[in-house]
Chain A
Amino acid sequence: MAAIEVEHISKKYGEVEALRDVSFSVNKGEIFGLIGPDGAGKTTLFRILTTLIRANSGSATIAGLDVVKDYKKIRNQVGYMPGRFSLYQDMTIEENLTFFATVFNTTIKENYYLIKDIYQQIEPFKDRRAGKLSGGMKQKLALSCALIHKPVVLFLDEPTTGVDPVSRKEFWEMLKALKVQGITILVSTPYMDEAMLCDRIALIQNGSFLDIETPQEIINDFKETIWSVRSLNMSALLNDLRLCPGIESCFAFGDVHHVTVNESLLTIASLKKQLQEKGHIDIEIQSIKPTIEDCYMQLASK
């Protein structure tokens, strides 16, 4: 039995289609990532799966329980961390954790082993009010509160949004450690680099899934030729590349530009020559493997 099973879910808000015929399943103990920007439908999907709202059509089960008929039972067994920081700002770390433990009919002691690695990082501050914590600490607290009752499935809606890269990295390491405990995790994020850290991912845009596979498979499915190009004047390079025949797309990617190329029209050597003629220096062109972001942009533009 899959931990999460979704069949043809659709949801409309007035005229806007938030979710269009979405189907997928998540296996027990998997880390499944929903990757896509704001407005793609991630939060709507989460709310349906955590039984907070109802879909217009389609069905879903969590650990075999139907999200509509068995919603009360589901609410006993899942952990949920919604998008914004949703804990009590005027209560301390310890008070928040104790409260949620009691709400789930357990104690901090009972499942401490689950949250130990996470909680220990914020334990020195346990008498500080939650509202006065930094972003990274709030995250750790929220995660602890969501885990304290040893949920069967953990739903994390954009837990790393607005958090600095170091804290993000630490957070994902914590998630990996949870996998070992057999907890299924459904997590959403707009950060494409985090996609690589999931077992399987679904790329979402405007309420539809563009693809559902392991990150590696998605990269393998990318059929275009892709190069990274760099020169001294990156801004001018961007414009010039777009004018070159044979360049199908060109996007900035940090310190290089990624270009997809029609190989019958262009080789690395000929591109280099063209750029030199336009006055570029320190040119470096390499053939690369695509990143998830490249895949997303290509699928999204179709």
Chain B
Amino acid sequence: MNENNIVIETKDLTKRFGHFTAVDHITFNVHEGEIFGFLGANGAGKTTAMKMLCGLSKPTSGSGKVAGYDIGKQSELVKRNIGYMSQKFSLYEDLKVWENIRLFAGIYGMKDKDIAIKTEELLSRLGFESERNTLVKSLPLGWKQKLSFSVSIFHEPKIVFLDEPTGGVDPATRRQFWELIYQAADRGITVFVTTHYMDEAEYCNRVSIMVDGVIEALDSPVNLKKQFGVNGMEDVFYKLARKAKRGE
């Protein structure tokens, strides 16, 4: 992790829908190679904030930079330099494994030759060589998810955004997934992840917790637990989220 290099920065980032302020002046930084956990209760504004960071939604006020590009004015460049994986896995079920890889790599502008070489590398690293021609819908869930993650970082983006990537997955695969995340972080890819599994919050370098549109806490898991005098991230979360007024 390179603390000197900041890959995500926001200043008073805000999003309003009519009278409703979904995201209320959030300010924070994420360093290169960091595994950053972005937590919050449902309705806290997490998804809205993430959409802004990915260049999918324009901020109402405030500013943000992702991978060096302004999220308000250079959203297309932002999109080109990040990876994204959502809970529903974002792969085409009726395409084969290698077809999916090629499709997404092509979308991110990789050249055919590079795609071919890297595909072989990826398939062998995941142990998927024999499955290259399998339709994605026939893969077991855990495999789909690992493949989806690998596809999202195939083009070696600076940052990858993961939206609840391990929802409903069996315990062993969940852990294998996080090992893939560690490997990516070791290679210098910053990982911005949201999750509802509090044990996964422990795997992050730092965690932020959003409540009612505001970041109520941001620190390493160790420090947060000290700060709130509790043993586990779940208790930290519970203490903060319980105060939420937003319809919970």
Q: Do A and B bind each other?
A: yes
Interface residues of A in 160-195 (CB under 8 A from B): 161-169, 190-192
Give the shortest distance, in Å, between B199 (CB) and chain A (any CB): 3
Q: Does B171 lie at the interface of the complex (its beta carbon under 8 Å from any beta carbon of A)?
A: yes
One digit per residue, 1 when the CB lies within 8 angstroms of any chain A CB and 0 when it does not, for chain B 55-87 equals: 000000000000000000000000000000001
Specify which chain B residues have a CB less than 8 angstroms from the CB of A136 in the assembled complex: 41-43, 247-248
Interface residues of B in 98-124 (CB under 8 A from A): none
Give the shortest distance, in Å, between A197 (CB) and chain B (any CB): 14
Specify which chain A residues have a CB less than 8 angstroms from the CB of B87 in the assembled complex: 162
Contact partner of B199 among A40, A135, A164, A253, CB < 8 A?
A253
Q: Is the CB of B237 within 8 A of A134?
A: no
Q: Number of A residues contacting the other chain (C-beta, 8 Å)?
A: 39
Q: Is the CB of B42 within 8 A of A167?
A: yes
Give the shortest distance, in Å, between A196 (CB) and chain B (any CB): 13
Q: Does A95 lie at the interface of the complex (its beta carbon under 8 Å from any beta carbon of B)?
A: no
Q: Does B157 lie at the interface of the complex (its beta carbon under 8 Å from any beta carbon of A)?
A: no
What's the Cα separation between A296 and B169 when bound, in Å? Answer: 13
Q: How many residue pairs between the two chains, A and B, have CB atoms under 8 Å in the bound complex?
A: 107
What's the Cα separation between A191 and B248 when bound, in Å? Answer: 21
Q: Is the CB of B170 within 8 A of A254?
A: no
Give the shortest distance, in Å, between A134 (CB) and chain B (any CB): 3
Q: Is the CB of B221 within 8 A of A38?
A: no
Q: Does B242 lie at the interface of the complex (its beta carbon under 8 Å from any beta carbon of A)?
A: yes
Contact partner of B168 among A122, A165, A190, A253, CB < 8 A?
A190
Q: Does A24 lie at the interface of the complex (its beta carbon under 8 Å from any beta carbon of B)?
A: no
Contact partner of A165 among B234, B246, B247, CB < 8 A?
B234
What's the Cα separation between A238 and B222 when bound, in Å? Answer: 18
Q: Does B129 lie at the interface of the complex (its beta carbon under 8 Å from any beta carbon of A)?
A: no
Interface residues of A in 234-292 (CB under 8 A from B): 234-235, 238, 251-255
What's the Cα separation between A168 and B179 when bound, in Å? Answer: 27
Specify which chain A residues have a CB less than 8 angstroms from the CB of B141 in the assembled complex: 37-39
Q: Is the CB of B41 within 8 A of A166?
A: yes
Specify which chain B residues have a CB less than 8 angstroms from the CB of A168 in the assembled complex: 196
Specify which chain B residues have a CB less than 8 angstroms from the CB of A296 in the assembled complex: 170-171
Q: Does A22 lie at the interface of the complex (its beta carbon under 8 Å from any beta carbon of B)?
A: no
Specify which chain A residues have a CB less than 8 angstroms from the CB of B238 in the assembled complex: 165-166, 169
Specify which chain A residues have a CB less than 8 angstroms from the CB of B128 in the assembled complex: none
Q: Is the CB of A235 within 8 A of B182?
A: yes
Q: Is the CB of B42 within 8 A of A164?
A: yes
With A164-B40, A165-B198: A125-B247 Cβ-Cβ less than 8 Å: yes
Contact partner of B247 among A38, A40, A133, A192, CB < 8 A?
A133
Specify which chain B residues have a CB less than 8 angstroms from the CB of A166 in the assembled complex: 41, 237-238, 241-242, 244, 248
Q: Is the CB of B41 within 8 A of A251?
A: no
Contact partner of B233 among A191, A205, A254, CB < 8 A?
A254
Q: Is the CB of A192 within 8 A of B164?
A: no
Measured CB to CB, the nearest residue on chain A to B170 is A37
Specify which chain A residues have a CB less than 8 angstroms from the CB of B41 in the assembled complex: 134, 136, 164, 166-167
Give the shortest distance, in Å, between A104 (CB) and chain B (any CB): 27
* Max count, chain A CB within 10 A of own CB: residue among B141, B175, B202, B247: B247
Can you show 19 pairs from A to B with CB atoms below 8 A apart?
A37-B170, A122-B247, A136-B247, A137-B247, A158-B168, A161-B167, A161-B168, A162-B196, A164-B241, A165-B234, A166-B238, A169-B238, A192-B171, A205-B170, A238-B179, A252-B178, A254-B232, A255-B232, A300-B171
Q: Give me the 9 closest cross-chain CB pairs, A-B, nearest first.
A: A134-B43, A254-B199, A37-B170, A135-B42, A38-B168, A254-B202, A255-B202, A164-B41, A166-B241
A-B contact sample (9 more), CB < 8 A, given A164-B196, A192-B171? A38-B141, A38-B169, A39-B140, A137-B248, A166-B241, A190-B167, A191-B197, A251-B171, A252-B178
